[in-house]
Amino acid sequence: MLRLKTTDADFATRFARLVKDRRESDENVSRDVQTIIEDVRLRGDEAVAEYTQRFDGHLPQGDGWRIDAATCREAFDALAPDLRAALELAAQRIRTYHEAQLPQDRDYTDAAGVRLGAKWRAVDGAGLYVPGGRAAYPSSLLMNAIPAKVAGVGRLVVTTPTPKGEINPLVLAAAHLAGVDEVWRVGGAQAVAALAYGTKTMRPVDVITGPGNAWVAEAKRQLYGVVGIDMVAGPSEILVIADAKNDPQWIAADLLSQAEHDPAAQAILITDDAAFADQVIDMVGVEIALLPTARVAKASWETHGTVIVVESLDEAPALANALAAEHVEIATDDPDALFAQIRHAGSVFLGRMTPEAIGDYVAGPNHVLPTGRRARFSSGLSVLDFMKRTSFIAVSDASIGAVGPAAIALADAEGLAAHARSIELRLGI
C-alpha cells in the first residue's frame, strides 16, 4: 500500500501519480471487445450462443435463452422472510427517492408571444446488465430497474450470465420485485452487443445500464451512440476522510467494503493523525483475515490502498476534489463543513454512523456511480438516464414579426439563404 504525507517534499509528485493512475481495461480488452461486438452485429444469435458457451460454459438453445416470469416469481416466493423483507424495504426506499427526481414538463408563452416548452418522455426499452455467478448482486438490479420503471420505460430487459447454466435465485427474485419484463441468460460483451443491435431472438433496446467487468464496461463505451449508456464504470473506489475520534476498526471495515469488490478497487484514507493512520492500517490486516473475500480485498489493499496524512483536515477537500472518487465518507464531528467544499464525488456519506454500505442497499440514492475521476463531469444513475427531453416551439403571426427579422439577419450572416427565405416568406418580405 501507499503512504503519503502532505509535508513530504515529493508529495505533489506522488499524489499526482495517484490521481492519474488508471485501473481500467487495457488495449487487449478493447481489441477483444471490438471483435465480439462486430461478430454479434453480423452473426447475431449464432455468435451470442458461441461466446456464451465459451465464456459461461453453457449453450443457450430454444427456451433456454430466457428465464420466464414464473421462475422469477418462484425465486421471490422462496426467499427467507427476513431476506424478502430486506429486498422489499430496499425497493421501497429506492423507488421513493427516485420518484422525487422525475422532471417537470414546461409550457409557457414568453414576452414576444412565442410559445415554448419541453416534454420529458421515457425511452421505449432499456437493457440492464446484471453480473452473475460469484458477483451476483440483487441490489444492483433494483438500483437499475426501479429508476427505469419510475421513468416510465415500457420494456425492461435484463441480461445476466449464468456460469455452467446456474441461475442466481436472488437476482431472479429482485427481477420479479422490480417488474422486469425479460430476463436473458447471456452475459459479457456479447450481451451488451445483442442489446444494442438486437438479434433474431433478442429485440434491441435504447439505453443500456448496469455494472460489469472490464469487457462489459468496454463494450458499453464502444457502443455509445448506437445506444445510450449510463456511464463507463471502472473498479470501485472509496475515499474516507476521518479524524482520530473514530474507531479504527470501523474505518478499516469501511475501506475494505470496496476493496473486496475487485483486486483493482481502490480504498484511500485521509486523516490528520499519523497514529490513527497506523491503527487503521493494523485493523485492515485484522479485518482482512476475517473476510471470506480476503484474497480479493488483500490484493486490492496491497496494490491500490493508500493512506494520506495531512496536517489539517482543512486540506482534505482539495485532495478529494482532485481524486473525484466514487464514494466519499466524511467521518468527523462536522461533516457538512467539509462537504460544502467537496465539488467532485459520486456520492458522499456524512458522519461517523454512515458507512458507504448503507448506500449500497437501503438508503435510497443510486449506488451506480461514476468511477475513474469521472465524478468531475458525471453523476450517479437516475431516472433521467432513462428519459429524454423534446423541446417545442409555436410561433404566431404576431410573434414571428417580433423575432423573425433577427433570425433572418443571423441566417444571412451565416450564408444560409434558404433558412432566411423560409422566414421571409412568412413575413411577406
- Give strand ranges (E) for 51-147: 66-67, 106-109, 115-122, 125-129
Q: Which of 304, 327, 344, 367 is catalytic?
A: 327
Q: Name 6's Cβ contacts closer than 8 Å, sequence gap at least 6.
A: 308, 309, 310, 311, 315
| Neighbour tally for 3: CB within 10 Å | 16
**Residue 37 grid coordinates:** 461486438
Closest CA to 159 of 224, 124, 200, 203: 203
> Which one from 218, 326, 329, 356 is the annotated catalytic residue?
326
* Cα 422 from Cα 419, distance rounded (Å): 5
Choose among 332, 129, 282: nearest CA to 215: 129
* 188 contacts 159 by C-beta, under 8 angstroms: no
Distances (CA, A) of 31 to 21, 49, 404: 21, 20, 51
> Distance between CA atoms of 75 and 160, rounded to whole angstroms?
15
Nearest of 158, 128, 161 to residue 56 by alpha carbon: 161
Question: Nine-digit cell at 372?
Answer: 475513474
Which among 229, 212, 38 has a CA at the least distance from the CA of 133?
212
Burial of 93 (0-12, 13-18, 19+ CB in 10 A): middle
What does each C-alpha distance from 65 to 69, 213, 331 come to in angstroms?
Answer: 13, 21, 47
- Is residue 327 part of the annotated active site? The answer reads yes
Helices (H) and strands (E) in the chain, counts: 17, 15
**Locus of grid cell 473514530:** 246
Between CA 318 and CA 239 the distance in angstroms is 13
Contacts of 266 (CB under 8 A, 6+ apart): 23, 235, 236, 237, 238, 258, 259, 300, 304, 305, 306
Q: Is 261 marked active-site? A: no
In b/e form, how buried is each residue of 397-423, taking b as 16+ CB within 10 angstroms?
Answer: eebbeeebeebbeebeeeeeeeebeeb
Collect all residues with Cβ–Cβ distance below 8 Å to 150 and sequence separation of at least 6: 95, 98, 99, 101, 102, 383
Active site residues: 326-327
